[in-house]
């Protein structure tokens, strides 16, 4: 039985063209919608697999709207949720790590000790790659990053991640922190029943412990789109060999 | 892909189901140079067609919709993209069962197979439905699903094969060039294309495109939520896209439609989520497509539970997940009808918008006919873009009304139900007086019109049973016995009726006579001061309108017509003005109010406020003149739509209240009452057998069929003349009759009163079919208090249109005996029209 805390962030769905809010302070999710990142979806999936009867708490630091993402996680197996309600505009990774650490401590004081704290490898909108490491530091726990699968045996967790030079495998004693990279597990869609349960699952809203004091974001800028380069490969049947060549380069053909 | 040509005969913007069907039908009708544009890629450019649930329930309470849908189904079948699945509308409540019985009436009237069934019937075909959740259902065996994208591709290809069509996808329209009120060219991000005819078939984007030309297509993009749950083992075992009937869970405003191994659940139950066309994302900005917006799960959660309740084993099946969920955009209009036809603002610019999958090909065929011949075969009167008054074109109006009606998509909507939004927009000058009199206001074309007056409640006691009270709540909803009491009082003394909603316009100029003569059936070259009631026909002899024309001067004619259809009539005349400017049209709708004064005492009342001779000899029927009412001047016209002696008084808006007050005051000693539209629109007219446009009269009906043919036609040419002469030489295919209900007693003992739309059948319940292949249905139903009868109007097959013929009307799945009381325009009440002439 493992208690897992999964930290997720409400972000605009990154699949469409990036649109900024009018003041340029954030990404606008009005067209693409809001979601949690694919890394975090994988983290939720891993958490439900390793919990083995333990608690899977999902946590988000953000505005009240983040409840939507928390409920989505509840619909696919998380058991309860915590929302640290605060406007994170101007918050840096250090601030977020501090907020999460505060919840971990207060929950532990309240009787729920998290053996494993999972985060996405990096946020889909800001891409800082920092919160996991800073959180581990704040909690005084070991941390591994870029993890894709986790197996728990007693008080030890085994972490695997595909790196550019092969598979990295770590064994850590719990409690510990890990950041998850998508690709190791297939996150599930919610079932109808799961969604109905999520609606009624417990969600605790807590106040933020402090205002931002670390480095924070001032604004965002979308770079101009790269010029589209059209290369005419030829016309009719004569172009076929070149098309095959391109498909081979792309790895579609071998 | 093709390059953008510099010129085309016709540019169709949009490659959804409407644009694709339209280019096909235009090519079929002989158009040879069509260019179709879309900003998205083919075959799914990203509009509403791309995410449609693609199922078709043919039944609808509106005949126009039903006919168009049946034609669409025929076309989908011919294209090989229709799969018949059958469909249920299930009821969880008794109120819904009654509504389903009412839908049986519509189904029978439009010739659509349908029956009321018990829950066992449903679970036999849909075994995963929880029988205990429902009390019954309506079964529609001909329901099916279509592949609308494939249909579109085939239709485009057919037009291309004919050499008539060039398709240019991935080109965005950026502007419209209008010269002297006529479309000249379409500007795009790939250049400019000239065309004399441009059609906006852009679904949710249509308003934006129309504004580029200065025209209005008053629709709004609205969200329809849908999820897809699967794989469900119960579905996966079956081959093909659909093998179980579609279920409409009417009480929860949801549907469940199998799509391969998934079950799609769609909802019309959530709050109205309305968008502006300008805010729809671009293809690049959108995650899925511009019209598949991010799902807002909170809005759907209640429906999810209800759907689960209905199909727990299926939707709760192991491994079945919500794999797809969207807030899909579709088009809604303020009155629920599509927006079709040439825009009144820009010649040559057409709209084919707010059309759903089930109506796409049928609508496109009709619009193509309209563009080609000037008339669609199926009457599109309710969908005519010309119907909108200025205030109805505003975003505010569109959003208010669609916001209110969205939730009624599957709702139980009474035929007389009134909107609560966007009210108190057009107020008659005597509005305050009417409020003081306890007027119950109904809305027409934005006008608040008294339907009856609570101040007349005492008359119900006076007339008692003659008011024909209705015991059943549905029959009595949006109705009052006061209407019948007002009617009886009018026949006894006199009534004052507010007719402010009339549309009114003058045709003036040296060629005014020529213009009017050409448009109307009756002789227009009459003496100044004559009033002519006349049909207005299209070239096939179908009704475009019926209205009155007053000749006010040698070169001035005033047309007075109904409010609902007034703007379309105005366009019909405006489109037929001489090109050389020899006649002009002046819209006076907002300049005059109209007050009706009718009844045996009407003459005495008017005499008490004017010195003019208003006797039958001094002011004959069918004439009009200026009249001094003390220090007020009005135009009085001696006509009647209620069968009584009296006048329509056309009064400048600003003195309307004064004239109203003076007449009410003067009428006191003569027993004058204010009477509402309930009398004017229904009881008064039905006793007199007067036909109404939009009910008995539309472009599918002829003078012969409506008993309005003439022994001889004027020498001058007029639109439809050739057709009416030909029609007069042949036996009609159907004949408009008035029928009386002989016994109202239902099986439960409660007396029932039909409201319109019900099928007329034989006494044994067997179906009647007229020469058009249509089945008779009630076009107008209403009390005839002076006869003590409930009267129905219906077009019967000629062999059944015999006075005294005993038939039946089917209402809520029960038969009631009726008898044909008139098979022509002969009034049931005062057949010799003695009252109108002041002889009775």
A188 inside 8 A of chain B by CB:
yes
In a domain, B529, yes or no: no
Strands, E, within B470-516: which ranges?
494-498, 503-508
Three-state SS at B544: strand
**Which pair of tokens denotes residue B572?**
């019909």
Q: Cα B392–B326–B142 angle (5° rounding)? A: 80
pLDDT band at B839 (very low <50, low <70, confident <90, very high): confident
Of B298, B315, B323, the CB nearest to A189: B323
> Which residues 6+ apart lie within 8 Å of B390 measured at CB?
none
List of chain B residues whose C-beta atoms are within 8 Å of the C-beta of residue A71: 297
**Which of A73, A192, A203 to mutate against chain B (most B CBs within 10 Å)?**
A192
Size of interface A-B (CB pairs under 8 A): 65
The last residue of one of the domains, among B299, B317, B332, is B332
A48 in B contact zone (CB under 8 Å) = no
Please check whether residue B304 touches A, CB under 8 A: yes
Q: What does the CA dihedral B167, B170, B175, B181 come to, rounded to 10 degrees? A: 20
Q: A32 and B286 in contact by Cβ < 8 A?
A: yes
Residue B398 within any structural domain of the chain = no
CA atoms of B513 and B718, how far apart (whole Å): 12
pLDDT score at A235: 82
User: Inter-chain contact A16–B320, Cβ cutoff 8 Å?
Assistant: no
Quick one: pLDDT band at residue B221, thresholds 50, 70, 90? very high
Chain B contact present for A223, CB below 8 A: no
Higher pLDDT, B529 or A240: B529
Q: How many residues does chain B have?
A: 840
At what angle are helices B566-574 and B512-519 packed, to 10 degrees? 120
**B575 found inside a domain:** no
Q: B546, B569, B698, B830: which is the annotated catalytic residue?
A: B546
Q: What sign for the dihedral angle of Cα B533, B539, B544, B550?
A: negative
CB nearest to A31's CB, from B285, B305, B307: B285
Our count of domains for chain B comes to 2
Tens-place pLDDT, residues B409-418: 888 999 999 9
Residue from A19, A30, A31, A230 to probe the interface with B (highest B Cβ count within 10 Å): A31
Residue A69 with chain B: CB contacts under 8 Å = none
Record: contact A191-B281, CB cut-off 8 A: no
CB burial string B373-390: b at 16+ within 10 A, e below: eebbbbbbbbbbbbbbbe
> Chain B closest CA to A184's CA: distance in Å?
20
Strand B7-13 and strand B191-200: the pairing is parallel
Is residue B331 within a helix (H) or strand (E), and if so which, with residue range? strand B321-332
Q: What is the pLDDT of residues B452-498, one digit of tens each?
A: 999 999 999 999 999 999 999 999 999 999 999 999 999 999 999 99
Please choose, from the candidates A81, A100, A89, A179, the residue with its C-alpha nearest in 3D space to the C-alpha of residue A133: A179
Paired residues of B342 in beta bridges: B350
Residue B830 falls in the annotated catalytic set: no
What residue has token string 């010029």? A227
Q: Is B717 on the interface with A (CB under 8 A)?
A: no
Does B808 reside within a domain? yes
Higher local confidence (pLDDT), B606 or B285: B606
Reading the block at residue A36, the tokens are 């949690």
Nearest to B537 by CA among B777, B706, B745, B333: B706
Span B779-800, pLDDT tens digits: 999 999 999 999 999 999 999 9
Instruction: Say how far residue B72 (Cα) sits from the centre of its chain.
Output: 19
Window A:62-101, CB contacts with B under 8 Å: 68, 71-72
Contact B284/A at CB under 8 A:
yes
pLDDT score of A236? 85
pLDDT at A150: 97
Q: Per-residue pLDDT averaged across B281-302, rounded?
A: 90
Residue B809 near residue B754 (C-beta atoms within 8 A): yes
The shortest CB-CB distance from B308 to any of A33, A68, A192 is to A192
Q: What is the mean pLDDT of chain B?
A: 96
pLDDT confidence tier of residue B548, bands split at 50, 70 and 90? very high
Domains and CATH numbers, chain A: 4-229 (3.40.50.620)
Q: Could you tell me the two tokens for B591? A: 């300049």
B345-404 residue pLDDT tens = 999 999 999 999 999 999 999 999 999 999 899 999 999 999 999 999 999 999 999 999
Residue A158 backbone dihedrals phi, psi, to 5 degrees: -110, 125
- Residue appearing with tokens 């809604």: B332
- SS3 label, residue A208: coil
Q: What is the mean pLDDT of residues B697-719?
A: 94
Is the torsion defined by CA of B70, B72, B75, B76 positive or negative? negative
B278 touches chain A (CB under 8 A): no
Which 8-state DSSP code applies to residue B601? T
Pairing state between β B191-200 and B220-230? unpaired
Q: What percent of chain B has pLDDT over 90?
A: 94
Q: Does B391 touch chain A (CB under 8 A)?
A: no
Q: How far apart are CA B702 and CA B770, in angstroms?
A: 14
Distance from CA of B277 to the nearest CA of A (A): 13
Q: For position A126, what pLDDT does the model report?
A: 79
Domain termination residue (choose one: B332, B354, B372)? B332
pLDDT score at B29? 98
- To the nearest 10 degrees (0 to 180), the angle between helices A67-75 and A192-200 is 130
Task: Say if B35 falls within a structural domain.
Answer: yes
Distance CA A161, CA B378 (A): 67
Residue B417 lies in a domain: no
The reported pLDDT for the residue numbered B166 is 97
* The pLDDT of residue B238: 85
Q: CA nearest A33 in B: which residue?
A: B294
Q: Is the pLDDT of residue B1 over 70?
A: no
CB A1 within 8 A of CB A53: yes
Core vs surface per residue B488-505: b (16+ CB within 10 A) or e: bbbbbbbbbbbbbbbbbb
pLDDT of residue A28: 84
- Does A32 contact B321 at a Cβ distance shorter than 8 Å? no
Compute the half-sphere exposure of residue B498: CA atoms within 13 Å on the CB side of its CA: 34
| Residue pLDDT, tens place only, B317-345 | 999 999 999 999 999 999 999 999 999 99
Cα(B620)–Cα(B597) distance, rounded to whole angstroms?
Answer: 15
Is B315 in CB contact (< 8 Å) with chain A? yes
Q: Which of B791, B294, B290, B402 minimizes the C-alpha distance to A13? A: B294
- State the CATH number of the domain containing residue B817: 2.40.30.110
Q: What is the CATH number of the domain that holds B16?
A: 3.30.9.10
- Asked if B138 contacts B106 with a C-beta cutoff of 8 angstroms, the reply is no
β-pairing verdict for B806-811 and B760-762: antiparallel
* Backbone CA torsion sign across B351, B287, B319, A3: negative
pLDDT value at B821 more than 80: yes
Domain range enclosing B274: 7-195+220-332
**Confidence (pLDDT) at B24:** 98
Task: Answer whether B654 touches A (CB < 8 Å).
Answer: no
What pLDDT was estimated at residue A153? 94
Sign of the Cα torsion B56, B59, B60, B63 reads: positive
Flag residues of chain A having pLDDT under 70: 214
- Calculate what percentage of chain B has a pLDDT beyond 70: 100
What is the β-pairing status of strands B254-259 and B173-179?
A: unpaired
Select the more confidently predicted residue: A216 or B724. B724
Quickly count: other Cβ atoms within 10 Å of residue B333's Cβ: 22
Tokens of B81: 């993209």
CA distances from B805 to A118, B294, B796, B819 (A): 83, 60, 11, 6
Q: How far is B221 from chain A (nearest CA, A)?
A: 14
Phi and psi angles of residue B22, each rounded to the nearest 5 degrees, phi first: -70, -45
Predicted confidence at residue B212, as pLDDT, reads 98
**Cα-only R_g, chain A:** 21
Interchain contact A162–B (C-beta under 8 A): no
State the nearest Cα–Cα gap between B285 and chain A, in angstroms.
4
Domain contains B555: no
Closest C-alpha to A209, from A101, A131, A60:
A101
Which of A99-103, B32-36, B103-107 comes out lowest in average pLDDT? B103-107
Give a yes or no: residue B569 inside a domain. Answer: no
Query: Chain B partners of A188 at a C-beta cutoff of 8 Å?
Result: 321
Residue of B nearest to A29 (CA): B294
Please answer yes or no on whether A191 and B323 come within 8 Å at the CB atom: no
- Catalytic, B774? Answer no
Helix (H) or strand (E) holding B633: strand B632-637
Give the gap in angstroms from C-alpha B265 to the nearest C-alpha of chain A. 11
Q: Does B308 touch chain A (CB under 8 A)?
A: yes
Active site residue B546: yes
Compute the distance between CA of residue B287 and CA of residue B284 in angstroms, rounded to an integer.
Answer: 8
> Which residue, among A111, A105, A5, has the nearest Cα to A50 in the 3D structure?
A5
Q: Is the pTM of this model over 0.90?
A: yes
CB-based contact, B297 to chain A, within 8 Å: yes
Q: What length is written for chain A?
A: 254
Q: What is the pLDDT of residue B191?
A: 96
Order the strands of the B144-146 sheet from edge to edge: B55-56, B144-146, B82-84
| Least CB–CB distance from A13: residue in B229, B294, B323 | B294
Question: Quick one: pLDDT at residue B678?
Answer: 97
Tokens (6 digits) for B730? 């042949």
Task: Kindly state the tokens that stand for B615.
Answer: 């006797």
Residue A17 contacts B, CB cutoff 8 Å: yes
CB count within 10 Å of CB A152 equals 19
Contact B719, B539 (CB under 8 A): yes
Pull the structure tokens for residue B246. 């579609």
Candidate from A29, A31, A188 with C-beta closest to B321: A188
Q: What is the pLDDT of residue A163?
A: 82
- Please tell me the distance from the alpha carbon of residue B617 to that of residue B771, in angstroms, as a whole number: 45
Nearest CA in chain A to B231: A191
Q: Tokens at residue B447, please?
A: 């006008």
Q: Which one is catalytic: B25, B51, B224, B774?
A: B224
Q: Distance between CA B48 and CA B52 in Å, rounded?
A: 6
- The minimum CA-CA distance between A13 and chain B, rounded to whole Å, is 8
| Residue that terminates a domain, selected from B314, B332, B350 | B332
Angle between helices B148-161 and B17-28 in degrees, nearest 10: 30
- Around Cβ A226, how many Cβ atoms within 10 Å? 6
Which pLDDT value is given to residue A24?
A: 85
Q: What is the pLDDT of residue B305?
A: 93
So what's the ipTM on this one?
0.84
The torsion angle over the Cα atoms of residues B399, B404, B405 and B408, rounded to 10 degrees, is: 150
pLDDT, mean over chain A: 91
């Amino acid at each position: 039985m493992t208690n897992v805390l999964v930290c997720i962030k409400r972000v605009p769905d990154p699949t469409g063209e990036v649109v900024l809010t009018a003041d340029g302070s954030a990404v606008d999710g009005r067209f693409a919608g809001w979601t949690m990142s694919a890394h975090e979806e994988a983290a939720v999936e891993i958490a439900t697999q390793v919990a083995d009867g333990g608690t899977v708490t999902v946590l988000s630091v953000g505005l009240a709207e983040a409840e939507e993402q928390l409920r989505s996680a509840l619909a696919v197996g998380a058991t309860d949720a915590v929302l640290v309600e605060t406007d994170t505009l101007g918050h840096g990774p250090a601030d977020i790590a501090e907020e999460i650490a505060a919840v971990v401590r207060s929950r532990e004081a309240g009787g729920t000790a998290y053996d494993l704290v999972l985060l996405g490898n990096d946020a889909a909108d800001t891409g800082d790659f920092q919160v996991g490491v800073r959180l581990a530091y704040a909690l005084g726990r070991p941390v591994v990053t870029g993890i894709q699968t986790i197996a728990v045996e007693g008080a030890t967790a085994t972490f695997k991640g595909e790196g550019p030079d092969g598979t990295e495998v770590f064994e850590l004693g719990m409690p510990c922190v890990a950041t998850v990279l998508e690709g190791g597990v297939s996150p599930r869609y919610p079932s109808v029943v799961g969604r109905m349960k999520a609606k009624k699952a417990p969600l605790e809203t807590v106040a933020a412990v402090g205002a931002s004091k670390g480095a924070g974001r001032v604004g965002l800028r979308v770079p101009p789109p790269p010029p589209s380069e059209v290369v005419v490969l030829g016309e009719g049947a004569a172009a076929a060999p070149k098309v095959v060549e391109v498909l081979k380069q792309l790895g579609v053909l071998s | 892909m093709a390059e953008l040509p510099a010129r085309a005969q016709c540019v169709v913007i949009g490659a959804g189901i409407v644009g694709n069907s339209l280019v096909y039908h235009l090519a079929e009708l002989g158009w040879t140079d069509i260019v179709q544009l879309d900003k998205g890629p083919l075959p799914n450019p990203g509009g509403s067609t791309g995410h449609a649930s693609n199922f078709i329930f043919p039944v609808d309470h509106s005949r126009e919709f039903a006919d168009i849908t049946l034609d669409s189904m025929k076309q989908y079948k011919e294209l090989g993209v229709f799969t018949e699945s059958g469909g249920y509308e299930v009821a969880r409540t008794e109120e819904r069962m009654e509504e389903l019985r009412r839908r049986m009436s519509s189904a029978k009237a439009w010739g659509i197979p349908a029956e009321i069934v018990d829950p066992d019937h449903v679970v036999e075909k849909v075994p995963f439905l929880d029988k205990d959740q429902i009390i019954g259902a309506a079964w529609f065996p001909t329901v099916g699903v279509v592949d609308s994208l494939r249909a579109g591709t085939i239709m485009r290809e057919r037009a291309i094969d004919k050499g008539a069509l060039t398709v240019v996808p991935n080109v965005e329209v950026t502007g419209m060039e209008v010269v002297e009120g006529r479309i000249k060219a379409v500007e795009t991000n790939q250049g400019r294309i000239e065309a004399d005819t441009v059609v906006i078939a852009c679904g949710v984007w249509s308003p934006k495109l129309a504004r580029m030309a200065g025209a209005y297509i008053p629709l709004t993009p609205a969200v329809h939520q849908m999820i897809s749950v699967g794989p469900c083992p119960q579905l996966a075992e079956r081959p093909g896209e659909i093998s179980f009937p579609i279920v409409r869970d009417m009480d929860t405003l949801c549907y469940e439609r199998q799509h391969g191994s998934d079950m799609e659940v769609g909802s019309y139950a959530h709050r109205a989520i309305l968008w502006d066309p300008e805010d729809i994302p671009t293809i690049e900005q959108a995650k899925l497509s511009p019209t598949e917006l991010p799902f807002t799960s909170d809005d759907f959660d209640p429906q999810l539970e209800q759907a689960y309740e209905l199909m727990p084993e299926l939707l709760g099946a192991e491994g079945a997940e919500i794999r797809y969920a969207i807030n899909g955009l579709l088009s809604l209009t303020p009155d629920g009808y599509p927006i079709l036809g040439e825009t009144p603002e820009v010649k040559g610019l057409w709209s084919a918008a707010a059309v759903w999958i089930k109506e796409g090909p049928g609508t496109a065929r009709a619009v193509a006919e309209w563009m080609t011949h000037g008339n669609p075969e199926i009457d599109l009167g309710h969908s005519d873009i010309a119907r909108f008054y200025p205030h109805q074109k505003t975003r505010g109006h569109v959003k208010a009304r669609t916001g209110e009606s969205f939730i009624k998509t599957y709702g139980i909507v009474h035929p007389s139900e009134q909107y609560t939004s966007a009210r108190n927009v057009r107020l008659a000058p005597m509005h305050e007086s009417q409020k003081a009199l306890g007027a119950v206001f109904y809305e027409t074309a934005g006008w608040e019109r008294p339907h009856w007056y609570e101040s007349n409640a005492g008359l119900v006691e006076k007339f008692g049973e003659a008011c024909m009270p209705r015991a059943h709540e549905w029959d009595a909803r949006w109705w009052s016995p006061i209407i019948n009491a007002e009617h009886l009082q009018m026949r006894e003394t006199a009534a004052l009726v507010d007719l402010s909603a009339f549309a009114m316009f003058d045709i003036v100029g040296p060629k005014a006579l020529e213009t009017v003569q050409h448009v109307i059936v009756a002789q227009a070259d009459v003496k100044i001061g004559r009033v002519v009631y006349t049909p207005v026909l299209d070239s096939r002899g179908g009704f475009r309108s019926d209205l009155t024309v007053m000749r006010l001067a040698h070169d001035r004619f005033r047309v007075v017509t109904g409010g609902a259809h007034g703007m379309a009539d105005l366009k019909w005349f405006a489109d037929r003005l001489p090109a050389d400017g020899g006649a002009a049209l002046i819209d006076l709708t907002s300049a005059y109010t109209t007050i009706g004064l009718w009844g045996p005492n009407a003459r005495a009342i008017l005499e008490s406020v004017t010195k003019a001779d208003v006797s039958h000899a001094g002011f004959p029927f069918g004439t009009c003149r200026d009249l001094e009412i003390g220090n007020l001047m009005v135009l009085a016209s001696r006509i009647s739509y209620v069968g009584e002696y009296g006048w329509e008084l056309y009064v400048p808006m600003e003195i309307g209240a004064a004239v109203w007050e003076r007449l009410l005051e003067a009428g006191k000693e003569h027993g004058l009452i204010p009477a509402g539209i309930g009398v004017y629109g229904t009881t008064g007219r039905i006793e007199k057998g007067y036909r109404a446009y939009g009910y008995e009269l539309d472009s599918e009906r002829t003078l012969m069929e409506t008993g309005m043919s003439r022994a001889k036609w004027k020498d001058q040419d007029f639109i439809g003349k050739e057709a009416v002469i030909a029609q007069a030489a042949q036996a009609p295919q159907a004949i408009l009759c008035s029928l009386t209900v002989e016994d109202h007693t239902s099986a439960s003992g409660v007396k029932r009163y039909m409201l319109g739309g019900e099928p007329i059948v034989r006494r044994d319940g067997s179906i009647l079919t007229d020469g058009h292949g249509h089945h008779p249905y009630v076009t107008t139903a209403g009390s005839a208090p002076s006869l003590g009868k409930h009267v129905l109007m219906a077009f019967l097959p000629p062999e059944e249109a015999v006075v005294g013929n005993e038939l039946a009307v089917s209402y809520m799945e029960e038969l009631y005996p009726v008898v044909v009381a008139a098979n022509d325009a002969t009034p049931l009440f005062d057949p010799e029209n003695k009252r109108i002439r002041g002889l009775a």
